[in-house]
Structure 1
Amino acid sequence: MPWTFNADGNAPTDGVWISAVAIIFTTFSLVCVLLRLYVRLVLVKASGIDDFVIVLGWVASCGFAVVTVIQTRWGLGLQHIDDMPPGNLYNFGLPGPSYITSILCFKLSLLLSYFRFLPQGIWKLLTVIIAIICVLFHASFLVVQINLCTPVAKQWDPSITHGHCIEAVPFYTTVAAMTIVLDVLVMMLPFPTLYASKIQTRKKAVLLGLFALGVFITIIQMFRIQTIKSLANYLDSAKLIMWSTIENNLGVIVTCVPTLAPLLKYFSEKTRRGTTEGNTRYGRNSTYALNAWKEGGLGAGDDMQCLSSNADREIDITGSKAAESQENILEGLGIVRKTEVTVVRQASREV
């Protein structure tokens, strides 16, 4: 049985390859989302709206992958326009908003996560402004895409010969260019605050590197622009849709990766010390590397201590308060709190 419905069994198609890419990337992004939820809901117990927004983003991404696989059965991926059965055109052209929803959600999730550590003032205001711009831009993108033709059904119904359509290549090229600009703004927004923070250079480099993973999404957008420019007929959209599938799933993955750093730290220490030794030494506090970020400001001159859920102080059992801990380390997106307890025993006097 041929992969494409109603097509000749010898018609060459990339439909199987496109479907495999969609399934693999969607599955991998699902694993990342589940691990993120495990960290936030089970280990850290400090979930936020950014976590639920990225879940919505994955659902939209999954929807786009499902539509992509279905479209390959109706002709997407066929290498020759002459092999396209005329009866498949109606189902092949049905539009869907899943792609736009998914790329909007991963941007919003990142922006919302910035509120956990950005200081009050200009940086939070910029975050709000960029979030509003993203929502308005993607909403406009969706409206125009749905109404690309007049009447709207002309996009997928070849029997409609009257009306007109917007030129797709200039429209999608402009949208892709604007998306790249927004991606760069969203990814680079936390860099000034993290760069100015008082944490170890190595830790700072790791953090900046995690947020810089978003550069891969920009690279994917550049590939998409090249495929858009080469569009000559509706079958040429195969590579464009495949890169779009990679892009929205990669957006979900990149958004989740920084939140997984505390999980890696936790299991790394459990492996190094052994389960028994770890439980004995740390007791209930063995998940110290998984502390949630405290919502609040972080000034350029402030210590990273303000991000932890409690003040880090050394306590003398006699009741005197020692100096504050001088080492507050940010591991990925978690806070490592080092607390020293000094026990003082006084020899009893003989009566």
Structure 2
Amino acid sequence: MAWTYNIPEGTATEGPKITAIALALNTFSLILVCLRMYVRIFIVKGFGNETRYGLGLVRREDMPFENIYGMLLVQYVGAPFYIIGVWGFKMSLLLCYLRFFPWVYRRATIMIAVLCTLGHVAFACVSLFLCTPIDKQWDPNITLGHCGNPITYYASMSWITIFFDLMIIGLPFPILLKSKIPPRRKAGLLALFALGIFVTATQIIRIHMINTLNDYIHFARAIVWSIIETNVGIVTTTLPTLVPLFNYFSEKAHTSKKPESGYAMHTWRDGMYELRSHGDHEIHISGISEGDSTEVILDVEGIMKRVDVVITRQNMHDSDTIQSGGSIEEGKPGAI
């Protein structure tokens, strides 16, 4: 890293470890995000707003004075990107909630999103203006002015972030617990949303690391956990959106082992249904079903899904064609 320059060969440093962790986790997160884009664009065809948008030296005495400026400047520039990353995966999950929450829970989701955004804007402002003058944060030659306590700032930020995380993790649980869906599927959905606990765990470890710091050299350990926190957050908020991809391959494997049914053939990529009767009429039903498992509306009565359809009924003898439009509401028996 930049601030490990100008040090003697063989000096103890954790730079290579930090680099390896960052590369591995960022690569894994990038792969998952690319898969998420593929699912949203090509499979469920629903590109939502949540988708659009010398470090490591062990001893302080080994740090050359000329490297301090560069190290602190990189930390100053990198802090807002960390805050944006943490805010980003929270907002991604909240926007995903808005796709299927009932109105009462949608209002709660919007309120939490606003509070979360305001909180992270405040974090960024404090990070950028922690010192007066501002360049005192990275220039050790400036002796005038004053700075806030960075350890207190980062620890406070982490606790507030944990509070936001717990609220976001807990939002879908009342809806899922009341919904009338099969217990096995309900348990799977609850487990997916509970993955956010891993993010909270990494934040708690990061707070412990911050509280044990005594100078800027030891910030390397906290930065490692910041990298882990950001990437774990990306992974845990991306996995639920990949359910349609897993379902797609599962259905392909399942249908390849069974003969095609003469009554119904469902292609969920384009929402086309074809039904054949044994009489002299053919009925084609085509609709729009571009949503994935998060496109449904959950309420205490069960899972409701609205599908707009166009029904074309063609007489095989006189070629008379009757078209009608309507909608089918799935989930409640007899609701059309």
Global fold match (TM > 0.5): yes
Look up the equivalent residue of 2:114 and give its one-letter code. Answer: I
Q: Which runs of 5+ in 2 are unaligned?
A: 272-288, 316-321, 323-327
Q: What is the Cα deviation at residue 206 of structure 1? A: 0.3
Is residue 11 of structure 1 aligned with residue 11 of structure 2? Answer: yes
Matched, 1:160 2:149: no
Identity of aligned residues (%): 40
Q: In structure 2, how many angstroms separate the alpha carbons of the residues matched to 1:197 and 1:297?
A: 10
Assess, with a 3 A threshold, how the Cα gap between structure 1 residues 282 and 91 changes in structure 2: closer, same or farther: farther
Q: Partner residue of 1:76? A: 55
Alpha-carbon distance between aligned partners in 2 of 1:280 and 1:162, rounded to the nearest angstrom: 83
The CA deviation at 1:101 is 0.3
Structure 1: tracts of 5 or more residues without a match: 54-74, 329-351
Contact kept, 8 Å, 1:270 with 1:278, in 2: the verdict is no
Task: Provide the residue aligned with 1:213 in structure 2.
Answer: 195
After the TM superposition, which residues 80-229 of structure 1 pair with which residues of structure 2 at under 5 Å, given as runs? 80-94=59-73, 95-96=76-77, 97-121=80-104, 123-229=105-211
TM-score with structure 2 setting the length? 0.80
1:98 to 1:22, Cα distance in 2 relative to 1, 3 A: same
1 or 2, which has the higher helix percentage?
Answer: 1
Whole-Å separation in 1 of the counterparts to 2:40 and 2:268: 16
Residue 85 of structure 1 and its aligned partner are, at CA, apart by: 1.0
Residues 104-137 of structure 1: CA distance to partner in whole angstroms, max 9, x if unpaired? Answer: 111111111111111012x111111100100110
- The answer on whether the counterparts of 1:148 and 1:165 sit within 8 Å (CA) in structure 2 is yes
Q: 1: CA distance between counterparts of 2:48 and 2:270?
A: 19
- 1:28-47 matches, within 5 Å, as 28-47=28-47
Amino acid at match of 2:253: T
Distance change in 2, residues 1:12/1:112 (3 Å): same
Q: 1:161 to 1:327 in 2, by over 3 A?
A: same
Answer yes or no: is the 8 Å Cα contact 1:292–1:309 preserved in 2: no
How far the C-alpha of 1:271 sits from its partner, in A, is 2.6
How many residues in Structure 1 have an aligned counterpart in Structure 2? 297
| Cross-structure match for 2:280 | none
Query: Partners in 2 of 1:281 and 1:77 — Cα distance?
Result: 65
**8 Å CA contact 1:15, 1:78 repeated in 2:** yes
Q: 1:234 — aligned with what?
A: 216
Bigger fraction of residues in strand: 2
Provide, for residues 266-319 of structure 1, a one-character-per-residue CA deviation record: whole Å limited to 9, x for no partner: 112323443996799986715489851586754322x3132x5458xxx9x9x9
Q: Secondary structure at the match of 2:99?
A: coil
The residue number in structure 2 matching 1:69 is none
Aligned CA-pair RMSD: 3.1
SS of the aligned residue for 2:181 comes to coil
Structure 2 contact 87–120 (Cα < 8 Å) conserved: yes
Deviation per CA, 1:195-247: give whole Å up to 9, x if none.
Answer: 11111011000001000000000000000100110111101100100100111
Change (3 A) 1:52 1:278: farther
Q: Secondary structure at the match of 1:124?
A: helix
